[in-house]
A and B are shown apart, each in its own frame.
Chain A
């Protein structure tokens, strides 16, 4: 079993829809949680960063962490075709040389 599980998709939604992307994990020592966005033929870019449990909002994006369930989510409101990309969750423990453990990524397509 992988330490971080993520549904690969693909997920196809109409423009304007609310998108929910999720990851589950098994290591209770993870304290820092990130979402990266990766466009085709590009490197991942950091989208959201949260520490421990709770919510964080940035524009149309909301990251949610539920440590008791070992479950993290990324919500995208009013989705746009430009949101079409692969979304990778990543997480790390405190210290540990900032080594990240990644999910395999969910491919999202927002259709006009």
Chain B
């Protein structure tokens, strides 16, 4: 089974609709992240969470909100979707790979189309 899972994998919605993207992990990591990926812009951080009680904005948080329901679950919501939010969304978790070195492990992504 995958360590980081995202649902749904694909989603088409209409302008103005509220949608939620979900992320679950079995890696036991405390830190979780949401990114969006756009052609030519790379990965940009939307929100990140160091633990259940700690939520932080990333560089492009406007129009998005998050919820950390448990250590293993981190959800991203688009309150009122707009076409500009059409992108590939990735969830990631952060943990050590050796000693104190940390890196991020990514889910498979959610492809979102806002009409």
Contacts and interface: CB of A to CB of B under 8 A. Distances in A.
Contacts of B45: 99-100
Given A43-B106, A44-B106, A97-B48, A102 B42 contact: yes
Interface in A14-36: 32, 34, 36
Interface string B80-115: 000000000010101001000111111111010000
A42 interface: yes
B64 interface: no
Contacts, number: 53
Contacts of B94: 98
B103 A102 contact: no
Contacts of B31: 97-98
A90 B90 CA distance: 15
Interface of B: 4, 31, 40-43, 45, 48, 50, 56, 58, 90, 92, 94, 97, 101-109, 111
Contact of A32 (B92, B101, B105): B101
10 contacts: A6-B42, A36-B106, A43-B90, A43-B106, A46-B104, A49-B103, A98-B31, A100-B45, A104-B41, A105-B42
Identify which of B31, B48, B102, B108 gathers the most chain A CB atoms within 10 Å of its CB: B102
A32 B107 CA distance: 22
